[in-house]
Amino acid sequence: MDVTIIGTGLMARGIGSRVLAGGHDLTVVGKDAQRAEDAAGELAGGGNVRSAAAGDPLNGDVVVLAVYYPDARGAVEQYRDQLSGKVVVDITNPLNETFDGLVVPPDGSAAQELAKLAGDARVVKAFNTTFAGTLAAGEVAGQPLDVLIAGDDEEAKATVAQLARDGGLNPVDVGPLARARELEALGLLHITLQGPLGTEFGSAVKLIS
Amino acid sequence: MDVTIIGTGLMARGIGSRVLAGGHDLTVVGKDAQRAEDAAGELAGGGNVRSAAAGDPLNGDVVVLAVYYPDARGAVEQYRDQLSGKVVVDITNPLNETFDGLVVPPDGSAAQELAKLAGDARVVKAFNTTFAGTLAAGEVAGQPLDVLIAGDDEEAKATVAQLARDGGLNPVDVGPLARARELEALGLLHITLQGPLGTEFGSAVKLIS
């Protein structure tokens, strides 16, 4: 697959490393062309990666919005026409300024808000409960990360699940896009526990049985 | 400790088994005295347990509401005066009739609704992300269950954490009672995944690091 990640931060690099580990092609897009080049350079040892600047045509069939929620909204607005028909992955946890609540409607989710903005894009929620460092490592405590995936387009979800699986992760389909509400609640919970547990964004939420 | 569980179903028995495993005393209260006696009889091999009928004075300092949400509301209304000052544990997942959403206000939780009803009781949310069979077993896949605990009264939370720890479980303090919103979202997510994952209410949500 040909995957584009919008964003150059830790989550972009973490997800990018899994995309490359799975043998897929990656384009990193940054508002700042130099930062995109730096991120691509850092990932270059892992596979076929290039950088692009904001405004360049978007490559491929999968676009990951690896930026904070306000910037994800901005990216969807900027690229709306190009996103039509593509699989668009929302990874955001739409935290408020005090990091103890979410800014989206309480009966909704960032994913649903982005889907409303995104027109014909096939929005999938994923990777919002996995931290950047654990994605870069590909595992926690020797166990593959669970990647919880919500979406209304079955084929789009299967594509994201395949990307996760190819990268050594364990995809879990949690249902329709509306379930992103619960995924974002879990993301918030997981983030708020980092201080008290002292896990420094190195923990993972795992379903065991 | 002297623990009272209101309810005679699988969750009452699962939590009861952990209370007894920790060496604490247990009273099982049922609307139907015979069912309470049956539940107590089933648990009797594990420790010191007695049954009581609805309306009998409530024993001890900790009361677990191990019933469905509407019945938990009913129990709080029925016992409000007696619950004053006690640690009251809400374990509910307030599911709607189609089991795909919650009936409480979207920016709130069953725990907060019960706390409003309960006057001076010290309400703690716990055990809503752990299934009955896994509580009875005390573990999943050889790992102790995480018991996620939310509440505004630190001493009450510490009491519930101690009960969990004594029963061989791993308590995790997730913050104020408002965090019950996220715990109930996680409870809903965990329940909705049982069918798709085929785990038959035998899975557990675990934070690993």
Residue A50 pLDDT level (bands cut at 50, 70, 90):
very high
Measured CA angle at B188 (ends B183, B91), to 5 deg: 55
CB contacts of B148 in chain A (<8 Å) are: 189
Look at residue A194 in the predicted model and tell me its pLDDT: 97
Partner residue facing A186 (CB), from B182, B204, B209: B182
Look at residue A105 in the predicted model and tell me its pLDDT: 97
pLDDT at B8 over 90: yes
pLDDT at A132 over 90: yes
Partner residue facing A182 (CB), from B141, B185, B204: B185
pLDDT at A103 over 90: yes
- Average predicted confidence (pLDDT) for chain A: 97
A179 to chain B: nearest residue by CA?
Answer: B189
CB contact under 8 A, B175 and A196: yes
Look at residue A90 in the predicted model and tell me its pLDDT: 98
Q: What average pLDDT does the segment A94-110 reach?
A: 97
Residue A59 pLDDT level (bands cut at 50, 70, 90):
confident
Q: What average pLDDT does the segment B189-198 reach?
A: 97
Look at residue B138 in the predicted model and tell me its pLDDT: 93
ipTM summary value: 0.96
pLDDT at A114 over 90: yes
User: DSSP assignment of A85-140, as one string?
Assistant: TSEEEE----B-TTSSSBSS-TTS-HHHHHHHHTTT-EEEE-SSSS-HHHHHHTEE
Strands (DSSP E) along chain B, which ranges?
A: 2-6, 25-30, 49-53, 62-65, 87-90, 122-125, 139-140, 143-144, 146-151, 170-175, 204-208
Buried b (16+ CB within 10 A) or exposed e, A102-125: bebeeebbbbbbbbebbeebbbbb
Partner residue facing B185 (CB), from A141, A181, A207: A181
Q: What average pLDDT does the segment B25-39 reach?
A: 96
Residue range B73-100, pLDDT digits in tens: 999 999 999 999 999 999 999 999 999 9
What stretches of chain A show up as alpha helix (H) in DSSP? 10-21, 33-43, 69-83, 110-117, 132-137, 154-166, 180-192, 194-197
Residue range A143-193, pLDDT digits in tens: 999 999 999 999 999 999 999 999 999 999 999 999 999 999 999 999 999
- Average predicted confidence (pLDDT) for chain B: 97
- Residues in chain B whose Cβ is within 8 Å of chain A: 105-107, 140-141, 143, 148, 172-175, 179, 181-183, 185-186, 188-190, 192-193, 196-197, 199, 202-209
- What tokens appear for A121 in the block? 């894009």
